[in-house]
Amino acid sequence: MTGFGAFYDEHIRIAVLRLLDSQAGYCANDSVLTTAVQALGLSCTRDQMRAQLSWLQDVRAVTLLKPMDGVIVATLTERGGDVANGRTSISGIQRPSPKG
């Protein structure tokens, strides 16, 4: 049985992918993503967001760039966009609800 923490992580990950998918350039920094996820009712610190972004990079859903100390910019990959829009799935990421 999967624990609450794993479900929570899955929800944060799909939220991040959907947020990035909604941006014109498909990218945002870790500070903005942390604030946006919190606005969706998901408690997440910046350190936790960085761990989630690293996980998403490991499964090739985002790429990460560190333009300066203390800032991480995440960019959605094609694979991440497919997950955000429900065209494919990755274990460990909540499948999105249908848009409508």
Q: DSSP of the chain, one letter per residue?
A: ---HHHHHHHHHHHHHHHHHHTSTTSEEEHHHHHHHHHHTT----HHHHHHHHHHHHHTTSEEEEEEETTEEEEEE-HHHHHHHTTSS--TTSPPPPPP-
Domain boundaries, the chain: 4-84
Predicted TM-score (pTM) of this structure: 0.93
For residue 56, the model assigns a pLDDT of: 98
For residue 5, the model assigns a pLDDT of: 84
For residue 21, the model assigns a pLDDT of: 97
- The CATH architecture one would assign to domain 4-84 is Orthogonal Bundle (1.10)
Q: Which residues of the chain have pLDDT under 70?
A: 1-2, 100
For residue 1, the model assigns a pLDDT of: 45
